[in-house]
Amino acid sequence: MKPRVAIVTGAAAGIGTAIAARFLADGYAVMAVDRATRPEDFRVEPGCSAFLQADLADKAVAGEIAAAASALGTVDALINNAGIGGSRPVAQTDDDSWEKILDVNLGAAFRLSRAVLPGMIERGKGSIVHIASIFGEVGYRGTAAYAASKAALAGLTRQMAADYGPAGIRVNAVAPGLIETAMTAKLLQDPTYRDLMLNSTPVGRTGKPREVAGVVAFLCSDDASFVNGETIAVDGGWRATRMKVSG
């Protein structure tokens, strides 16, 4: 029998590495995708079934990724995790930056979903999870393109759930809160940001990549067989409360 395959983008760092490790532990063959160009940039678990170096901004790579993953087995799960931050308020955002952030965070998820859907439809089974953000749901200063891309992912999730639920495919999203990764390392050194986020997170700490990976694994499992079109926050309660914990 062919193994179940999970495609995980942005797997060379942070949340993506944790997701790849979790799927491996759950018995999937993992197709890890990242733009990292040197072998040492791949910090994925040694047992990862296949690595593919690809820049998801390249519109041609989605088909290549889907084909390479299909060669490993049946693609049961697609995790659109790769993303970039660094956006600014609208008045300070140039066209290039807007287009790049929207394309990597949203366009690549659309293209890769389109590439794997025919195989999932044929088998009548599959699960797609987009990694969105709490900043796609709650306004925050200085992050226009990023927030727009993540809000659009939540919309895409609902739309895909409606279109492909009848074909046996579930599509959900996870919206992480403040998770300790390379993406947030610099932000966490800013005391204002740190205070603002941590003081309004009821559990009073940052999250770990594996805590996001656990929810992604749940969404792709049979335990989530009736969960479809949802965006689930993994944020220690930040979005639900923005509770002032201290100060």
Catalytic residues: 146
SS3 letters for the chain? CCCEEEEEECCCCHHHHHHHHHHHHCCCEEEEEECCCCHHHCCCCCCCCEEEECCCCCCCHHHHHHHHHHHHCEEEEEEECCCCCCCCCHHHCCHHHHHHHHHHHHHHHHHHHHHHHHHHHHHCCEEEEEECCHHHCCCCCCCHHHHHHHHHHHHHHHHHHHHHHHHCEEEEEEEECCECCHHHHHHHCCHHHHHHHHCCCCCCCCECHHHHHHHHHHHHCHHHCCCCCCEEEECCCHHHHCCCCCC
Cβ 78 to ligand NAP, closest distance in Å? 14
Decide if residue 107 touches ligand NAP (CB under 6 A). no
Decide if residue 12 touches ligand NAP (CB under 6 A). yes
Decide if residue 178 touches ligand NAP (CB under 6 A). yes
Stretch of residues binding ligand NAP (CB under 6 A), selected from 7-15, 63-71, 111-119, 154-162: 7-15
Among 6, 8, 32, 84, binds ligand NAP (CB under 6 A): 84
Q: In angstroms, rounded to a whole number, what is the distance separating the alpha carbons of residues 145 and 97?
A: 8
Among 4, 10, 74, 76, binds ligand NAP (CB under 6 A): 10
Cβ 27 to ligand NAP, closest distance in Å? 23
Residues in the interface with ligand NAP (CB under 6 A) total 26
Decide if residue 119 touches ligand NAP (CB under 6 A). no
Query: Between 52 and 71, how does the x/- string for binding to ligand NAP read (CB under 6 A)?
Result: ---xxx--------------
Among 6, 7, 8, 14, binds ligand NAP (CB under 6 A): 14
Nearer to ligand NAP, 15 or 161 (CB): 15
Query: Between 133 and 172, how does the x/- string for binding to ligand NAP read (CB under 6 A)?
Result: x---------------------------------------
Decide if residue 81 touches ligand NAP (CB under 6 A). yes
Classify residue 56 as left (phi > 0), alpha (psi -120 to 50) or beta. Answer: alpha
Decide if residue 15 touches ligand NAP (CB under 6 A). yes
CB 75 within 8 A of CB 7: yes
**Strands 74-80 and 50-53, sheet pairing:** unpaired
Decide if residue 131 touches ligand NAP (CB under 6 A). yes
What residues line the site for ligand NAP (CB under 6 A)?
Answer: 10, 12-16, 34-36, 55-57, 81-84, 104, 131, 133, 176, 178-179, 181-184
